[in-house]
Structure 1
Amino acid sequence: MIILWIALGGAIGSVLRYGIGMAMHGLSGLFPIGTMIVNIIGSILLGAIFAMQEGALKSMSDEMWVFLSIGICGGFTTFSTFGLETYLLWKEKHIVEAALYMISSMIAAPASIALGYAVSKMLKP
């Protein structure tokens, strides 16, 4: 049954990722802003989910944990796409854009995890 929860979450996350990517397509020139937005949102979400599941404060079932974390977040976040897009920018000699994208994404993702975690801890009764 766990596999079905992961698959359902993955389908939802993937469709959400596609929708945001299409909405952002063409708005930012060479810079892959859609992927960056998805990675930031996904990182905040995963940080919040992790905070709710941590230690003695565990507040969700194993099924809900895998549905949200592995399923939705796994289908939604696009770090592998980040790698490909960085490589493609670099390959096409857009070195400044590739470096800016790589550095800003690598800073924003862990900072977003921390933000999602902190907000979740503040909101949890």
Structure 2
Amino acid sequence: MSTLPSRSLKGDLRDLALVAGGAIPGALLRWQLDADVVANMLGCLLLGVVLAQASQRKRLMLWAGIGFCGSLTTFCTWMLDLTRALQAGKTGESALLLLASLAGGVALVALGHTIGMLLSPRLRDTPSR
């Protein structure tokens, strides 16, 4: 017997629309930035801010966290950059990109979370919608 909550098609479509609504502007911003590392780091910072507020706000997480930040930051582009650097024999550059992206990404999510908690402490006490 499954213990998963029941889901409705209407609810799933609403959730999908929220993700898509955030993904389009996130992808457009990434395209305009024309710098993959900048886009990834900005997305990590914004994701931290969203995470600080989204624990009780499912719609915010779907739209901003998964949709916007998910399309602003892309794992595949990061891997493509690493692969190209390795194929060009730039082992040191590859290692630096890998370490800087991982450490920088985690640090920026943490910083964004701290900023989000400081900016909106009242949201933690607001009932979910």
The TM-score range, normalised by the shorter chain, is 0.7 to 0.9
Give the distance between the partners of 1:6 and 1:123, measured in 2 at CA.
24
Letter of the structure 2 residue corresponding to residue 88 of structure 1:
R
Q: CA deviation at 1:63?
A: 2.6
Find out whether 1:53 has 2:54 as its counterpart. Answer: yes
* Ranges in structure 2 where 5+ consecutive residues have no aligned partner: 1-13, 122-129
Tell me, what secondary structure is at the counterpart of 1:93?
Answer: coil
Alpha-carbon RMSD across the aligned residues, in angstroms, is 1.2
- The residue number in structure 1 matching 2:19 is 6
Aligned to 1:43: 44
Gaps of 5+ in 1: 22-33
Please identify runs of 4+ aligned residues in structure 1 that moved more than 6 A.
none
Task: Work out the CA distance in 2 between the residues paired with 1:80 and 1:103.
Answer: 16
User: Aligned partners of 2:41, 2:15: CA distance in 1, in Å?
Assistant: 26
Q: Which has the higher contact order (CA 8 A, sep 6+)?
A: 1
Q: TM-score, normalised by structure 2?
A: 0.78
1:111 aligns with 2:107: yes
Offset at 1:79?
A: 2.2
Residue 69 (1) aligns with residue 70 (2): no
Measure, in 1, the Cα distance between the counterparts of 2:24 and 2:33.
14
d(CA) in 1 for partners of 2:60, 2:52? 14
Q: How many residues align?
A: 108
Per-residue CA deviations over 1:23-69 (Å, capped at 9, x if unaligned) read xxxxxxxxxxx211111110111111011123xxx3x3x33320111
Amino acid of the structure 2 residue aligned with 1:46: L
- The alignment-based identity, stated in percent, is 28
* Cα distance in 1 between the residues matched to 2:54 and 2:60: 10
TM-score (structure 1 length as normaliser): 0.80
Letter in 1 for 2:51: F
- Which structure: larger Rg? 2
- SS of the equivalent of 2:112 reads helix
